A and B are shown apart, each in its own frame.
Chain A
């Protein structure tokens, strides 16, 4: 309440200072404008367009017409989309803990300030810089029956034969994809968790030790709670990434066997670009976006409120 008069007062006395503040503000606007413009152009404009399209019967070619919320009503009864959503949830529920536990374990391993730790940190991180599609093709080849080295290895270890088709069963196909994703993504999770771990002051842990806490107790009651903000970040990243999975399945399983590995985004792709129903595809995208927002918000809330 008092600030306007106060500001006006100071302004009247120190005129040059205000103009400097004004200049600063102007510079701030100038600096943020490009970013804002990009967000407008590449996020908000497409978002509004998508929502607008989702209210239409909008084929790839030809006339579109307004149909209100019919696309959304159809989506609620779309069994193919339901199957895809259920598969996506299943995939997320398996991938997230695997990535998280492995990422944390690796972070704890490379946490020490040895030169060896640095080396392994780099090794674990390397797959992250490979593109997801390239990684998928690499693994697709490795697990190809008759020609892939994974079959050879399984043969030598007595785990299976060279002719085993890993992609022929829906469970084994999903497991191969999850292995690939783990190999590819766990390094990033490790790095994020590592920065979280390193930001915990060593004196806190030392104090706990001096108080007689065992290693496990220190980890559970000191390290984990202090790591919470990082955990929230990592979990939100990982869950969102899994819910949006597409490339790995498109490349490695092609949705097979018998359409058992079609994710939600895959189904949106098929709706839009194979059946050419852009309007309906937009509606499915909007629904997915809402789910994603809710899930992320819930995670952040849960992890924050658990603080007290």
Chain B
């Protein structure tokens, strides 16, 4: 009787201990053990899992030539901001983080990143770095990160479908009207063939793919100081009307309304989609597939012109980095020719505009458009970018979704503007 009781108590205790260690064994503890093990010869780095394809190659390139090794931890893209934010807040974060540039103003404003203004000023190729990245890394006149990887939004089009529809595959559409008419012709090719697709319920996609139309038409979505939302401007109305027309024409598949970003590229990969706005990463995806004959073109404005969203990552040293000197050295190296060449070879747009002709453009006939798009790429600057644009339930996506698929553009804009301005005004 007693032995059974003690066994039971023992089993219970063991399970408690097991449970406790199991709970502690999740990401925070493992990252903590990483940093504690660092001492002097390891730099810990966090990156998004979407960078899996190249980030370890970059780390390997560094590790080959340096005694201090870089150790990469991949964090799911969808909760990178939360994870990095909580880790940084509790002091268990990495030495170096590769951060989506749109979040830079937020992280810089909260003081979790190290001021590396001096480091940037000493770079001989400082002015060759992507201007959009440099702008986003600046907060109150100081620099908190260096540009690392670039991304640009462009229009992908299926050359086969263009030919079948009687369109010239070497003359992609140059304004809203041309996209609308081309999409209609491609849609007419068959029941399952669509002209144009968007990811109507994806925040990141819609800031990346839709804002260029507004910029190319001379408008903007937020003032330069980030203090006022511009959702109710005429340029936004025009762009929404353009998407709405694509939808009412039937050129857009029904999926687009609720697509969280998975259907849109898949449909283009299947060869049944005429045009879609996406980024440089997709060139590599399509090349690997080798099924679709595609071209890329700049995203146009209402009456011509073009613009692009400058995306990608910046690389920053954290305030609590255990190994600051080496971390700074690594961050600097990441903008150098060796690291940037590794990126280019893996389909990522380098951030060095002075090196584009040498290491990127020769690799693929389509890269020239992407390189040019990146050079003039823009990015909205706001400490609440996540809540305004990237949140898939935020005011930006909600406005687009309601205007395009429900049709009341004026009301969607009015409410979107109000919601966005509230978020800006409530920001700490």
Taking CB atoms, residues of chain B closer than 8 Å to A38 are: 16, 19
Known: A145-B254, A165-B254, A275-B423. 4 other contacts (CB 8 A): A31-B5, A31-B12, A61-B111, A273-B82
In the complex, are the beta carbons of B16 and A273 less than 8 A apart?
A: no
In the complex, are the beta carbons of B86 and A167 less than 8 A apart?
A: no
Shortest distance between the CB of A38 and any CB in chain B (Å): 6
Given the complex of chains A and B, what is the CA–CA distance between A60 and B88 in angstroms?
10
Taking CB atoms, residues of chain A closer than 8 Å to B12 are: 31, 34-35
Taking CB atoms, residues of chain A closer than 8 Å to B285 are: none
Given the complex of chains A and B, what is the CA–CA distance between A37 and B111 in angstroms?
36
- Known contacts: A31-B8, A146-B253, A254-B392. The answer to whether A60 contacts B428 by CB under 8 A is no
Taking CB atoms, residues of chain B closer than 8 Å to A270 are: 391, 393
Taking CB atoms, residues of chain A closer than 8 Å to B384 are: 275
B positions within 8 Å CB-CB of A:
5, 8-9, 12-13, 16, 19, 79, 81-82, 85-86, 88-89, 106-107, 109-112, 192, 201, 253-255, 257-258, 260, 263, 384, 386-387, 391-394, 398, 401-402, 405-406, 423, 428
- Known contacts: A27-B5, A59-B428. The answer to whether A168 contacts B254 by CB under 8 A is yes
Taking CB atoms, residues of chain B closer than 8 Å to A173 are: 258
Q: Interface readout for A72-113 with B: 1 if CB under 8 Å, 0 if not?
A: 000000000000000000000000000000000000000000
In the complex, are the beta carbons of A273 and B88 less than 8 A apart?
A: no
Residue A259 lies at the interface, judged by CB distance under 8 Å to chain B:
yes
Q: Tell me the nearest residue of chain A to B110, going by C-beta.
A: A61
Q: Which of B81, B257, B391, B423 has the most CB of A within 10 A?
A: B257
Partner of A262, one of B8, B107, B111, B393: B393
In the complex, are the beta carbons of A254 and B89 less than 8 A apart?
A: no
Residue A276 lies at the interface, judged by CB distance under 8 Å to chain B:
yes
A positions within 8 Å CB-CB of B:
27, 30-31, 34-35, 37-38, 57, 59-62, 144-146, 163-165, 167-168, 173, 253-259, 262, 270, 273-276
Taking CB atoms, residues of chain B closer than 8 Å to A62 are: 109-111, 428
In the complex, are the beta carbons of A257 and B201 less than 8 A apart?
A: yes
In the complex, are the beta carbons of B258 and A254 less than 8 A apart?
A: yes
Q: Tell me the nearest residue of chain B to A57, going by C-beta.
A: B428
Taking CB atoms, residues of chain B closer than 8 Å to A259 are: 393, 398
Given the complex of chains A and B, what is the CA–CA distance between A38 and B257 in angstroms?
45
Taking CB atoms, residues of chain A closer than 8 Å to B19 are: 38
Shortest distance between the CB of A235 and any CB in chain B (Å): 30
Taking CB atoms, residues of chain A closer than 8 Å to B398 are: 258-259
Partner of A258, one of B13, B110, B402: B402
In the complex, are the beta carbons of B428 and A257 less than 8 A apart?
A: no
- Known contacts: A57-B428, A61-B89. The answer to whether A146 contacts B393 by CB under 8 A is no
Which applies to chain A's interface (DSSP): helix, strand, loop or mixed?
Answer: loop
Partner of B258, one of A31, A60, A168, A276: A168
- Known contacts: A254-B201, A273-B79, A274-B391. The answer to whether A59 contacts B110 by CB under 8 A is yes
Taking CB atoms, residues of chain B closer than 8 Å to A60 are: 82, 85-86, 89, 110
Given the complex of chains A and B, what is the CA–CA distance between A34 and B9 in angstroms?
9
- Known contacts: A165-B258, A168-B258. The answer to whether A275 contacts B387 by CB under 8 A is yes
What are 6 inter-chain pairs, A to B, with CB distance below 8 A? A145-B253, A146-B255, A163-B253, A258-B401, A258-B405, A274-B391
- Known contacts: A59-B110, A60-B82, A273-B82. The answer to whether A167 contacts B88 by CB under 8 A is no
Partner of B260, one of A30, A146, A168, A254: A254
Taking CB atoms, residues of chain A closer than 8 Å to B402 are: 258
Taking CB atoms, residues of chain B closer than 8 Å to A57 are: 428
Given the complex of chains A and B, what is the CA–CA distance between A276 and B110 in angstroms?
11
Taking CB atoms, residues of chain A closer than 8 Å to B258 are: 165, 167-168, 173, 253-254, 256-257
Partner of A168, one of B8, B106, B110, B257: B257
Shortest distance between the CB of A268 and any CB in chain B (Å): 13
Given the complex of chains A and B, what is the CA–CA distance between A62 and B192 in angstroms?
51
Taking CB atoms, residues of chain B closer than 8 Å to A146 are: 192, 253, 255
Taking CB atoms, residues of chain A closer than 8 Å to B5 are: 27, 31
Q: Tell me the nearest residue of chain B to A80, going by C-beta.
A: B419
Given the complex of chains A and B, what is the CA–CA distance between A103 and B260 in angstroms?
34
Given the complex of chains A and B, what is the CA–CA distance between A276 and B255 in angstroms?
31
Partner of B255, one of A165, A256, A258, A274: A165
Question: Ordered nearest first, which 8 A-B pairs have the shortest CB separation?
Answer: A61-B110, A165-B254, A167-B258, A255-B393, A34-B16, A62-B110, A60-B85, A273-B82
Taking CB atoms, residues of chain A closer than 8 Å to B89 are: 60-61
